[in-house]
């Protein structure tokens, strides 16, 4: 499989998706691949890019520069890896493999609260800029402990996700019995056994990794690390409000990034509350189904913040041309989630590296064909006005 990843058979992210589907049990692949409810937003995120047309400049120099800075950290091309909870389910190396791949590519990585590996171990495995994504699960004491650990480990940014007052209704997970898989009772897991047996390499690595360890980064006072099965109920009692920003600012001296912004009104509120950056995001279609595609919401947010903070975007990015389109609309960089997770599911760290190589090559080729010499020069003039 790794040989296929590094060879010509994996030439785009869709190829990595197909390879991940072959390697992973259905319940795990659908956890990665699916979205909320009817998956309208999941599809819209990708389709919205298809409707945007480029206006290229021809007969210009083919050289281009796509290095940029995000909150003072230089990255080799305008991509960061988005937080995905418990990638250890996809591959035992999980966040460690992702961090190593991000370091090799010279980009940043946002580590999820629900990571399967300790924050300190992810930091030790990487040389790239790391941000910590914060949920308030487990109460303020647990959140404060997580912030302190991220600060001590050298994480440079804190990402506060504001669009998850409850977990979205992910119907694929319900049909596949994902909660049964995460639970402690053995009997409900039996129905998933046939699909596990069809993926013996994944099953062997999963068992050798010890099954389902607890969430080492969410330590509940008097109880220890939170069990993975408690995540959904934990989110229901951990809704973030704007008032929470005041005590978080007291604990975190570095930049705070607000993730889950879809309107100019919320963007302005984030600026007023002291955020250094906002991430235009609908959670990849995993939360409220029927929301605007992220790329459609991006121009309103960019206009609202008026250059006072940096604007990032995630949702639906599957090609380098999608990245370039987001930059044309004013994003400083984009975050990718499924695009690298498909690589992780297909071939572990080698797959993540391949996904980033594909996107980097895509960005370079797109910019040369577009006639754009530097990512700093990208703006809406490179987009046909009648396509958005």
Active site residues: 283
What b/e sequence results for 294-312 when a residue is b if at least 16 CB atoms lie within 10 Å of its CB, and e otherwise?
Answer: bbbbbbbbbebbeeebbbb
Alpha-carbon gap, residue 44 to 48, rounded angstroms:
6
Phi-psi region of 94 (alpha: psi -120 to 50; beta: other; left: phi over 0): left
CB 225 within 8 A of CB 219: yes
Torsion of CA 370, 373, 376, 381, to 10 degrees: -40
Alpha-carbon gap, residue 192 to 32, rounded angstroms:
17
Distances (CA, A) of 353 to 4, 71, 350: 13, 24, 5
Q: What would the two tokens of residue 280 be? A: 């235009």
| Coil, strand or helix at 130 | strand
Dmax of the chain from CA atoms? 67
- Which has the closest alpha carbon to 294: 325, 265, 268, 319? 325
CB 274 within 8 A of CB 244: no
Distances (CA, A) of 362 to 38, 82, 356: 30, 19, 10
Instruction: Please give the backbone phi and psi of residue 136, each rounded to the nearest 5 degrees, phi first.
Output: -95, 25
Q: Which residues contact 283 (CB under 8 A, 6 or more apart)?
A: 161, 163, 164, 168, 260, 315
Q: Which residues contact 75 (CB under 8 A, 6 or more apart)?
A: 67, 68, 69, 106, 107, 108, 129, 333
CB 245 within 8 A of CB 256: yes
Distances (CA, A) of 126 to 104, 181, 254, 295, 325: 9, 30, 20, 30, 29
């Amino acid at each position: 499989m790794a040989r296929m990843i590094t060879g010509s058979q994996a030439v785009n992210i869709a190829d990595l998706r197909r390879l991940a589907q072959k390697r992973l049990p259905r319940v795990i692949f659908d956890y990665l691949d699916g979205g909320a409810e009817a998956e309208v937003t999941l599809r819209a995120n990708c389709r919205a890019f298809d409707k945007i047309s480029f206006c290229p400049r021809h007969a210009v120099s083919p050289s281009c520069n796509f290095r940029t800075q995000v909150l003072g950290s230089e990255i080799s091309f305008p991509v960061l890896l988005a937080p995905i909870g418990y990638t250890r389910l996809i591959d035992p190396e999980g966040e460690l493999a992702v961090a190593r791949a991000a370091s090799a590519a010279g980009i940043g990585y946002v580590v999820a609260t629900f990571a399967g590996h300790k924050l300190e171990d992810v930091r030790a495995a990487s040389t790239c800029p790391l941000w910590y994504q914060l949920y308030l699960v487990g109460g303020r004491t647990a959140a404060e402990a997580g912030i302190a650990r991220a600060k001590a480990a050298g994480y440079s940014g804190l990402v506060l996700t504001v669009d998850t007052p409850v977990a979205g209704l992910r119907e694929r997970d319900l049909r596949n019995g994902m909660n049964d898989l995460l639970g402690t009772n053995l009997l409900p897991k039996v129905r998933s056994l046939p699909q596990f047996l069809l993926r013996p390499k994944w099953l062997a690595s999963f068992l050798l990794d010890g099954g389902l360890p607890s969430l080492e980064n969410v330590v509940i006072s008097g109880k220890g690390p939170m069990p993975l099965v408690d995540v959904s109920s934990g989110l229901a009692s951990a809704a973030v409000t704007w008032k929470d920003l005041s005590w978080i600012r007291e604990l975190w001296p570095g930049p705070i990034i607000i993730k889950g912004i879809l309107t100019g009104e919320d963007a302005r509120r984030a600026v007023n509350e002291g955020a250094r950056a906002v991430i235009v995001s609908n959670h990849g279609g995993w939360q409220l189904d029927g929301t605007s595609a992220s790329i459609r919401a991006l121009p309103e947010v960019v206009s609202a913040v008026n250059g006072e903070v940096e604007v990032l975007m995630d949702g639906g990015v599957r090609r380098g041309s999608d990245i370039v389109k987001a930059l044309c609309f004013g994003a400083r960089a984009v975050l990718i989630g499924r695009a690298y997770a498909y690589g992780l599911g297909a071939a572990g760290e080698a797959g993540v590296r391949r996904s980033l190589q594909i996107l980097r090559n895509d960005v370079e080729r797109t910019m040369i064909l577009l006639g754009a010499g530097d990512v700093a020069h990208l703006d809406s003039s490179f987009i046909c006005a009648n396509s958005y």
